[in-house]
A and B are shown apart, each in its own frame.
Chain A
Amino acid sequence: MTTMLDVANASVSFGGLRALKDVSISAEEGQVTALIGPNGAGKSTLLGAVSGFTRLDEGRVTFRGQDITGMRPHQGVGLGLARTFQDLEVMQRLTVAENVLLGFPDQPAERLSRLLLTPWVANRHHRATVQKTVDLLDHVGLLDRADTLASDLSYGEQKLLVVARLLATGADMLMLDEPGAGLPDVNLHQIGSVLREAVAGGRTVLLVDHNMDLIMNYADRVTVLHHGQVIATGTPAQIQANQAVIDVYFSRSHTAQDPVDEPLTPSQKGAPDAS
């Protein structure tokens, strides 16, 4: 088994707040690695650091043996890493199909030289990309919503859309920021099975989530972050039995002082805005 992604001794501070302190994690090829931890534990910061959205103060990110520390956000897909966002960042005023179409990288139909000088080539490629979009929409169960504006989708459907867009990038390393939060069971299992199929197809998944159903059913390895530090790593069963994890995470997850993420219901969350 080879290591796909390796983060070594990562530290990030925002002003006086140390969001990550000397964190090291890795993701093995063909596995689902889950990253869990209470709110503010640094999970999303770590995802940002890996995908180029957040600068590391210290540490190194290695992807397939290549040092990608300090990569720009748009360079990820070209290298083979793609990510989603906790607040989805769906393109609200584009249709479902348009959102997914934009997931496919390097399209001749978006290059002005091809569009204007060899339009027939651009058009042929465009039809092929639309066909791939249709196939992918069918795969995640959104084909009948293809021409709907993304803003008109339910929260659960928007999350499926984000996963479809992620798959469209063709990246080998898929990083999802809370795909399960606030989902009704039916959508949760749709996303879970789509992820499982992606892994069966050779992709590697890094999952940030709180949803224990999702983690326990779909993750191969789990890393627990707390106050910006790794406190445990292991299989889901090991993590569930780990006393340190139980102390900071499970046992206090329903007390008022410790703001562990409660799963939001769609009605609480509503449609995220497109700011």
Chain B
Amino acid sequence: MSYLLTLVTFFSIGIILAMSLNLLMGFTGQVSMAHGGFMGIGAYTAAWFAINAEVNMVWAMLLAAAAAALIGWLFALATVRISGDEFILASFALQMVIIEAISRWTDVTRGTYGLSGVPKPELFGEPMRTIEQYAVFTVVVTLICAVVMMRMAGSTFGLVLRGVRESVPSMQALGRNTVRVKILVMVIASAFAGIAGTLQASMVTFIHPDSFTIMLSIIIVAYLLVGGLGNMWGAALGAVLLLSIPELIATSDVIPSNLLGPMERVIYGVVLMAFVWFRPKGIIAERPVLRVGRMLRRGTVTAPTRPGSPASATTPDAPGATR
């Protein structure tokens, strides 16, 4: 039972990471290799306040989100003029800087010794003692995060993000401040990564620079590539699937236990390549936000009935008009 609850907790954390990176990468088209680093900033911030200032992890989570958002904001300001490959490289560099900073700022982070004894959150004046309590807490936090992020994704806000991905000039010409949009989505994604980091820190009680390396950032990107870029359900599914792989290997006894670690990465790599090759849109592909046909059928909106309208009277029969 507790094994299952532990899994549920890690799945939840993975879902927050995947969904938040999806806003940035799937929707806005900014491929970030620093999402694991932002998670680390959140984990360390929350752990430091909880250990040194005895801040309840519930509030420390908000501080963690704010700290990650702040770094995300500074990074977004610095990278606002770049996109595509250059943005990937910049985020890669940021990931390295974050890990270096955590490793060397020993007064605060205790460097490579790591921070141990990270507490569980307190609710109603009582610290959580059981994995059951903590799993429920994590699932509730994840549901709140997921509802908020899916609301963003499924609205005109999500469309604006996709619009920036598709064409910055046309979004500018349509009156959108694309610089502001890019900064905003970076801040949002970082804040949620900070929340995920807090949940992780409380769960494992010990955090170390190695927990938040480029390897983690790549795996979060892999969640999206497998599940479906630009689709929030796909992101969640990708996280759960990839987090299940090591558990399935470990329980199946097919691979000797001393080969488990290296084999895990090989299998991740093979799965990732297979998806990029055979199913590049992921398991659940991106879907339109707006379904006019459905809204017309349901009567949410109505088709105008203006007979003899000059434009609608002529059906365009240009080449390629029909499929």
Contact = CB atoms under 8 A, between A and B. Distances in A.
Interface in A76-123: 76-78, 82-85, 89-95, 97-98, 101-103, 105-107, 109-112, 115-116, 119, 122
B291 A83 contact: no
Contacts of A197: 310
A116 B289 CA distance: 17
Contacts of A129: 156
A130 interface: yes
B245 interface: no
A274 interface: yes
A136 to B, nearest CB: 10
Interface string B160-173: 10110111011111
Contact of B318 (A78, A93, A186): A186
Nearest to A171: B175
A146 interface: yes
A103 B167 CA distance: 13
Given A134-B296, A154-B318, A110 B166 contact: no
Nearest to B176: A74
Interface in B274-323: 286, 288-293, 295-296, 300-304, 306, 309-321, 323
Nearest to A163: B311
A217 interface: no
Contacts, number: 186
Please indicate which of the listed interface residues B165, B173, B175, B304 has the most CB atoms of chain A within 10 Å of its own CB.
B173
Contact of A110 (B160, B165, B178): B160
Contact of B174 (A72, A103, A186, A187): A103
Please indicate which of the listed interface residues A77, A93, A98 has the most CB atoms of chain B within 10 Å of its own CB.
A98
Interface in B169-193: 169-178, 184
B167 A90 contact: yes
B314 A77 contact: no
B303 A152 contact: no
Nearest to A274: B166
B311 A141 contact: yes
Nearest to A97: B292
B304 A138 contact: yes
Name the prevailing secondary structure of the A interface residues: helix
B151 A115 contact: yes
B161 to A, nearest CB: 10
Given A82-B173, A147-B288, A110 B316 contact: no
Contact of A102 (B163, B300, B312): B163
Contacts of A84: 173
Contacts of A138: 303-304, 306, 309, 312
Contacts of B178: 74
A244 B95 CA distance: 62
A78 B175 contact: yes
B133 interface: no
B87 to A, nearest CB: 15
A197 B152 CA distance: 36
B290 A193 contact: no
B323 to A, nearest CB: 6
Contacts of B59: none
B119 to A, nearest CB: 30
Nearest to A73: B172
Nearest to B296: A134
A44 interface: no
A139 B309 contact: yes
A83 B170 CA distance: 9
Given A53-B169, A112-B152, 9 more contacts: A98-B289, A101-B290, A110-B159, A137-B292, A141-B311, A147-B288, A154-B316, A184-B319, A266-B320
Closest 3 interchain pairs by CB?
A77-B175, A91-B166, A156-B318
Interface of A: 51, 53, 72-78, 82-85, 89-95, 97-98, 101-103, 105-107, 109-112, 115-116, 119, 122, 126-127, 129-131, 133-135, 137-141, 143, 146-147, 149, 152-157, 160, 165, 169, 184, 186-187, 189-190, 193-194, 197, 266-267, 274
18 contacts: A74-B172, A74-B176, A78-B175, A91-B170, A97-B292, A98-B290, A102-B156, A106-B175, A110-B155, A115-B152, A122-B155, A131-B302, A134-B303, A138-B304, A141-B314, A169-B174, A190-B311, A267-B319
